[in-house]
Amino acid sequence: MAVEFEVNKREVWDGNYAASQALRQADVDVVVAYPITPSTPIVENYGSYVGNGYIDGEFIMVESEHAAMSGCIGASASGGRVATATSSQGFALMVEVLYQASGMRLPIILNVVNRALAAPLNVRGDHADMYLGRDSGWIQFAAFNAQEAYDLALMAFRVAEHHDVRLPTMIHQDGFITSHTAQNVYPLSNEVAAKFVGVIDPIDDMLDFSKPVTYGAQTEEDWHFEHKAKQHKAIIDSVPVIDAIFAEFKELSGREYKRIESYDMEDADVCVIGLGTTVESARVAAKEMRAEGVKAGVVAIRCFRPFPYEELRTVLENCKSIAVTDRSSPGGAMGAFYNEVAAAMMTSQSRPLVTNYIYGLGGRDISIENLKEIFKEQQANADAGYITTDIQQFTNLRGPKLSFFKTDRS
């Protein structure tokens, strides 16, 4: 029988520790891992919880992230509750297998501590790895601080394992800025957390000898499309389940989560829309802009997949100029996040001005002042009625101003 791990009502935890505590409280059966900075402590801590008897589980070290996710697939297909963590290059090596997990509808939980992709080699945070997973068929939640990394990790099990969903789910947190930043975290008691997460009720598990099944069937053009379509619909259809579990968690903890979060948007003329810790910094900047007379707001995507197109249109309905912030090198195009926001707003009645800011690559700091500059440019756009800058700009970059793509107003 497992030893009780003592948890206080108020802890000072960093994002990694918070996520690992969620794995412990969720009584995860199997973690298969190949640790990588900055996500290492998540799986390392799980291993120590197993080793010290706090949890009755299996910690399996393998030879690569490709093998780690493969092992997770085996354990999950066998009916276990399964989780792991990775970052950056490790995530990249895992990508092939991510598609296998989602295609087989296995409810694996992956804690992704976002980190830049080399070259040049870098251990700090940006969203290059997160974007790499965006078409992989996983549900993707974004945490903006350690508390949320903990809360979302608990909720992710409920969402992923729900019989109407059955999709693997990632929880993203910013490398170092969340993962290595200790903040006040108010965890659930072990008992309450365990009751909330519950016990996995497996489907099509390979250890059910009364119903042998084949995993990994081959399909060619006569079947593949139908399977992928069904999978896509499952992601879209996970929305009501996610909303219900967010609501249930609010009842339990008092902490409210929405697939799209908005702050000071009721009367906002201009806004910054983002992912990760920058959302919280932008809230500080927006408050300061309001003190300076600019009706500034912030919109954040909590649920990157399924992407909340309709909710986004609603929340941005009356906004005049929108700055979409992408923390990933766009590689010869607009930022991926910009494209999604622009797609949503292109099909809106209001058709606001939408600009793109590339920022924070490789963990480059983004200060309140940087964010206030972005708000000021949005206000200038709103006043002019057109985009006064190039559409895509690089923020807080050394060297001459770098920007691309112009609006045609002729």
Partner 1 sequence: MTEIRWHSRAGQGAVSGAKGLGDVVATTGKEVQAFALYGSAKRGAALRAYNRISDEQIFNHAKFMNPDYVLVIDPALAFSDNIEVNEKPETKYIITTHLSKADLIAGIPALHGKEDRVYVVDCVQISLDTIKRSMPNSPMLGAFVKISGMFELDYFLENMKRVLKKFPQKIIDANMEAITRAYNEVN
Partner 2 sequence: MAVEQQDLKLKANANRGLSQLEGGFDLLGWDEVTQGSVLPSFDGDASNVAFQKAEERSYSGYNSYTATVASWRVLKPVFNIDVCIDCQNCWVWCPDSSILSRDKQMLGIDYDHCKGCEICVEVCPTNPKSLLMFSEYADVGEALASWPEKKKKEKK
CA angle 44, 49, 53 (to 5 degrees): 145
For 153, the token pair is 């990790």
CA distance 121 to 119: 5
Cis geometry, peptide bond prior to residue 85 (ω within 30 degrees of 0): no
Q: In the complex with partner 1, which residue's Cβ is closer, 11 or 126? A: 11
Q: Report the DSSP beta bridge partners of residue 324.
A: 273, 356
Shortest distance in whole angstroms from residue 211 CB to partner 2: 6
Q: Report the DSSP beta bridge partners of residue 59.
A: 31
Residues in the chain, total: 410
Please tell me whether residue 287 adopts helix, strand or coil conformation.
helix
Shortest distance in whole angstroms from residue 180 CB to partner 1: 6
CA angle 151, 155, 161 (to 5 degrees): 155
Residue 152 CB contacts under 8 Å (≥ 6 apart), including other chains? 141, 143, 171, 257
**Contact residues: partner 1, CB under 8 A:** 10-12, 14, 37-38, 123-124, 145, 174, 176-178, 180-184, 277-278, 280-281, 283-284, 363, 365-369
- What end-to-end distance do the CA atoms of the chain give, in Å? 74
Taking alpha carbons only, the member of 330, 325, 266, 327 closest to residue 300 is: 325
**Contact residues: partner 2, CB under 8 A:** 103-106, 166, 203-204, 209-217, 219, 222-223, 225-227, 229-231, 233-234
Q: In the complex with partner 1, which residue's Cβ is closer, 113 or 358? A: 113
Maximum separation of any 2 CA atoms in the chain, in Å = 74
Q: In the complex with partner 2, which residue's Cβ is closer, 48 or 100? A: 100
CA atoms within 13 A on the CB side of 25: 28
Distances (CA, A) of 47 to 8, 254, 313: 21, 31, 44
Q: Residue 212: which of partner 1, partner 2, none does it interact with, CB under 5 to 8 A by kind?
A: partner 2
Shortest distance in whole angstroms from residue 219 CB to partner 2: 6
